[in-house]
């Protein structure tokens, strides 16, 4: 078994609420490749090793098994509930009035919790795809983003926040135009945003916008998601761990390039949530955020390695009449209506 890490040695980030969140967590999306059993076993191993942040979602299809692992860990005294920061996300088919509460109730029942530390709107529109679908699958009911529709969902999020069922409410897969359209209307501001972040896709403008608005970025696909579902693979996608700048830093520190991606993100100020079911990998990911920092010159060289290469394009969420996946991300600076 890999060496345990004292969670107190893992740096943390303070949210506007005063709550501290670890600077690294574990993702739990099996990418349609790893079974719920494998993912939940990894969560158990990660708790024992010292992980305290877990990124869950109902659509990952494994919250019931992960809940058993949490319950065992609490009952056996491995960790206390209040020592964990557990997130989950409302899926796109549960955005309507009353449905957010129902979705969270199911998540709480599955995870065997009284509250989540953060609850995210997984995508800012009610478009959904069937699990394991192909990249060219489309749902004819899909619609473009609407600020009014999003705000109706956010008001449901504010209710569950008032009820204490979610300590923080948060957004995911947002853009600056979408934030501009909704932030001033939120009575409770999002504490966190999940956004795709890795050296080949740094989203600097959105990153800076979030920091300016006190919204802490959580970086998904932090290693470039090498085992992502086939629907999210496109010819021309960049492999982060093979970027010359990343490889050079890895060589200088004598570590795997995946760990360079994580160190770079933590030092930049985002919280990576790498996924792995392999103990060797998830142990080294946690250890990477302690000591042996990248130099300013190394940070600067990785900053220049950006290739603007989005991996999770989201094309399965496109609505009839949309031109292409770029429409989901408002790439012309305006919201597509
Ligand atoms: N909000 C959203 O819309 C959204 C979207 C996507 C993902 N997420 C969240 O973000 C999490 C992470 O994203 P991801 O899983 O797509 O991508 P990722 O963490 O960038 O990549 C995961 C893959 O990297 C490999 N890996 C991990 N640690 C490694 C190491 N130390 N050395 C070498 N390879 C390593 C693993 O391979 P092995 O399996 O071989 O170990 C794993 O399959 C997800 O699990 C999920 O919780 C959120």
- Is 95 annotated among the ligand-binding residues? no
Q: Which residue has the tokens 């086939």?
A: 230
Q: φ and ψ at 64, to 5 degrees?
A: -65, -40
> Quick one: residue 321, left, alpha or beta (phi over 0 = left, psi -120 to 50 = alpha)?
left
Residue 137 confidence class, pLDDT cut points 50, 70, 90: confident
Give the pLDDT of residue 157: 98
The answer to the question of residue 334 being in a domain is no
Cβ atoms of residues 100 and 92 within 8 Å: no
Number of domains the chain is built from: 1
Closest residue by CA, ligand 1 atom 29 = 281
**C-alpha span between 82 and 167 (Å, rounded):** 12
Span from the CA of 275 to the centroid of ligand 1 (angstroms): 4
The answer to the question of residue 330 being in a domain is no
Sign of CA dihedral 35, 38, 44, 49: negative
Q: Is the pLDDT of residue 319 over 70?
A: yes
Residue 335 confidence class, pLDDT cut points 50, 70, 90: confident
Going by their DSSP bridges, the two strands 216-220 and 26-27 should be labelled as unpaired
Closest ligand 1 atom to Cα of 220: 10
User: Minimal CA–CA distance to 95: which of 142, 164, 165?
Assistant: 142
Cβ atoms of residues 19 and 167 within 8 Å: yes
Kindly report the CATH number assigned to the domain that includes residue 166.
Answer: 3.20.20.100
Which helix or strand (DSSP H or E) is residue 147 part of?
helix 147-162
The answer to the question of residue 226 being in a domain is yes
Range of the domain at 277: 7-320
Query: Which residues neighbour 93 within 8 Å (Cβ) at sequence distance 6 or greater?
Result: 99, 126, 128
- Mean pLDDT value across the chain: 96
Tokens of 25: 């967590």
Q: φ and ψ at 6, to 5 degrees?
A: -70, 115
60 catalytic, yes or no?
yes
Give the pLDDT of residue 131: 72
The answer to the question of residue 329 being in a domain is no
CA distances from 319 to 93, 122, 313, 328 (A): 15, 17, 14, 9
The answer to the question of residue 242 being in a domain is yes
Closest residue by CA, ligand 1 atom 21 = 225
Closest residue by CA, ligand 1 atom 19 = 274
Give yes or no for residue 314 CB within 6 A of ligand 1: no
Percent of the chain with pLDDT over 90: 90
Q: pLDDT tens for residues 98-118? A: 999 999 999 999 999 999 999
User: Minimal CA–CA distance to 206: which of 198, 221, 217, 220?
Assistant: 217
The answer to the question of residue 258 being in a domain is yes
Span from the CA of 166 to the centroid of ligand 1 (angstroms): 25
Catalytic residue among 51, 60, 119, 209: 60
Burial of 13 (0-12, 13-18, 19+ CB in 10 A): middle
Q: Is the pLDDT of residue 336 over 70?
A: no
Q: What is the 3-state secondary structure (H, E, C) of 2-55?
A: CCCCCHHHCCEEECCCCCEEECCCEECCCCCCCCHHHHHHHHHHHHHHCCCEEE
Sign of CA dihedral 160, 162, 165, 169: positive
Rounded average pLDDT over 179-184 = 98
The answer to the question of residue 196 being in a domain is yes
The answer to the question of residue 325 being in a domain is no
Span from the CA of 27 to the centroid of ligand 1 (angstroms): 6
Give yes or no for residue 225 CB within 6 A of ligand 1: yes
Give yes or no for residue 109 CB within 6 A of ligand 1: no
Span from the CA of 103 to the centroid of ligand 1 (angstroms): 24
**C-alpha span between 279 and 42 (Å, rounded):** 7
Give yes or no for residue 58 CB within 6 A of ligand 1: no
Task: Choose the residue to mutate in 281, 282, 316 for probing ligand 1, maximizing ligand atoms within 8 Å of C-beta.
Answer: 281
């Amino acid at each position: 078994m890999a060496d345990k890490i004292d969670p107190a040695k893992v740096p943390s980030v303070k949210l506007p609420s005063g709550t501290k969140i670890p600077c690294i967590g574990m993702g739990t999306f099996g990418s349609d490749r790893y079974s719920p059993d494998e993912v939940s076993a990894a969560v158990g191993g990660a708790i024992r090793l010292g992980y305290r942040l877990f990124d869950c979602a109902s659509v990952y299809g494994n919250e019931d098994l992960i809940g058993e692992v949490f319950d065992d860990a609490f009952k056996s005294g491995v960790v206390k509930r209040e020592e964990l920061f557990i997130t989950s996300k409302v899926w796109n088919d549960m955005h309507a009035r009353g449905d957010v509460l129902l979705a969270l109730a199911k998540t709480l029942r599955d995870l065997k919790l009284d509250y989540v530390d953060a609850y995210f709107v997984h995508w800012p529109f009610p478009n959904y795809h069937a699990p394991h679908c192909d990249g060219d699958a489309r749902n004819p009911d899909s619609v473009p983003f609407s600020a009014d529709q999003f705000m109706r969902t956010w008001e449901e999020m504010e209710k569950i926040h008032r009820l204490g069922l979610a300590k923080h409410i948060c957004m995911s897969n947002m853009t600056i135009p979408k934030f501009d359209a909704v932030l001033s209307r939120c009575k409770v501001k999002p504490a966190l945003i999940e956004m795709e972040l890795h050296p080949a896709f740094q989203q600097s403008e959105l990153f800076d916008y979030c920091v300016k608005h006190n919204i802490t970025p959580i970086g998904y696909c932090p290693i470039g998601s090498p085992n992502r579902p086939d629907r999210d693979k496109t010819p021309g996608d960049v492999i982060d761990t093979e970027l010359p700048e990343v490889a050079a830093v890895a060589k200088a520190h004598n570590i795997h390039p995946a760990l360079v991606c994580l160190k770079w993100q933590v030092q930049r100020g985002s919280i990576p949530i790498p996924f792995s079911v392999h103990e060797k990998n998830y142990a080294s990911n946690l250890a990477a955020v302690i000591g042996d920092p990248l130099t300013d010159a190394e940070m600067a060289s990785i900053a220049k390695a950006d290739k603007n290469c989005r991996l999770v394009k989201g094309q399965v969420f496109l609505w009839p009449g949309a031109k292409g996946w770029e429409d989901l991300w408002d790439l012309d600076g305006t919201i597509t209506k």
